[in-house]
Amino acid sequence: MTSKSKKKNKAVYLPTEGKILSINKPAGWTSFDVVNKIRRITGIRKVGHAGTLDPFATGVLLVCLGPATKKVSQLMNLPKEYVADIALGTETDTLDITGKVVKREEPPEISEKDILAVIPEFTGVIEQEIPSFSAAKHRGRRLYKLARSGKEVPQLFKTVEIMEIELLSVEPGAFTIRVVCGKGTYIRALARDMAKRLHTVGYVQRLVRTRVGEYRIEHSLTPAEIETMVESTNSL
């Protein structure tokens, strides 16, 4: 970044109460990649996000600037909506498309009726087994660090709330669902558990967070669009 662009970034206008940006996170970016990008674009150092999205996932990531970072905890408690494509017959160690295949089998023929029959079992307040590749901690260490180092990962569970699961489509060996859930829900774990209930294995091929509270993906901007806005107006 040139010294000229740094000077321009420091001039970005920020309201007294700070700013909440609804970012459409690109695939391949970590949530912290987005935070760091917004810092570089704006020159504002006090930046935080309200709810991690896995790198492979896309969609709504709320980024708070300045005094608005005080609202992070409040925003994290908002309900979230996701659309997930779930592939059957294959399981990966990460339970998503980025992982190493650990199991493969011929999935049974599964109908819309079969999936609709198991959905009620996963709605309401339920227990989820936390994925091995997750940021959850055990004795001070992140589970994904244990998994990556080849060490045994303890079986840990957490209580989550899933308010709604809607079946959007079914095709041979895959289906798509829309999920509305509370804080801390693992969609990857939901895919694993639904597949198991359907007598097979599965993983998430695609995951899009479409809404956080009233912040919707159709009103969210990509980091590139935020950068263009700042360069042209010096404001957000």
Q: Closest by alpha carbon to 233, among 12, 5, 21, 18?
A: 12
Class for the domain spanning 3-77+214-233: alpha beta
Q: Closest by alpha carbon to 208, among 81, 32, 117?
A: 81
Q: Which CATH architecture fits 80-210?
A: 2-Layer Sandwich (3.30)
Q: Closest by alpha carbon to 202, among 76, 109, 125, 104?
A: 104
How many whole angstroms separate alpha carbon 53 and alpha carbon 221? 16
Q: For 189-209, write each residue's pLDDT tens digit.
A: 999 999 999 999 999 999 999
pLDDT band with cut points at 50, 70 and 90 for residue 111: very high
Q: Quote the pLDDT of residue 8.
A: 44
pLDDT at 217 over 90: yes
pTM of the model: 0.90
How many whole angstroms separate alpha carbon 85 and alpha carbon 128? 19
Beta strand 202-212 pairing with 58-65: parallel
Angle (CA) 150-156-160 rounded to 5° is 135
Catalytic residue numbers read: 54
Q: Of all residues in the chain, what percent carry a pLDDT higher than 70? A: 95
Matching fold, domains 3-77+214-233 and 80-210:
yes
Locate the domains of the chain by residue range. Answer: 3-77+214-233, 80-210
pLDDT band with cut points at 50, 70 and 90 for residue 175: very high
Q: Quote the pLDDT of residue 2.
A: 38
The stretch 109-119 carries a mean pLDDT of 97
Q: For 38-94, write each residue's pLDDT tens digit.
A: 999 999 999 999 999 999 999 999 999 999 999 999 999 999 999 999 999 999 999
Q: Quote the pLDDT of residue 135.
A: 76
Which residue shows structure tokens 């608005």? Answer: 68
Q: Closest by alpha carbon to 169, among 178, 159, 161?
A: 178
Q: Quote the pLDDT of residue 89.
A: 97
Structure tokens of 68?
């608005």
Structure tokens of 208?
């899009």
Which residue shows structure tokens 């639904």? Answer: 194
Q: Quote the pLDDT of residue 1.
A: 37
Q: For 133-153, write each residue's pLDDT tens digit.
A: 777 776 777 877 887 887 777
Task: Please report, for residues 14, 39, 180, the alpha-carbon distance to residue 136 in angstroms, rounded to integers and kept in the order given.
Answer: 34, 26, 21
Burial class (CB within 10 angstroms; exposed 0-12, middle 13-18, buried 19+) of 149: exposed
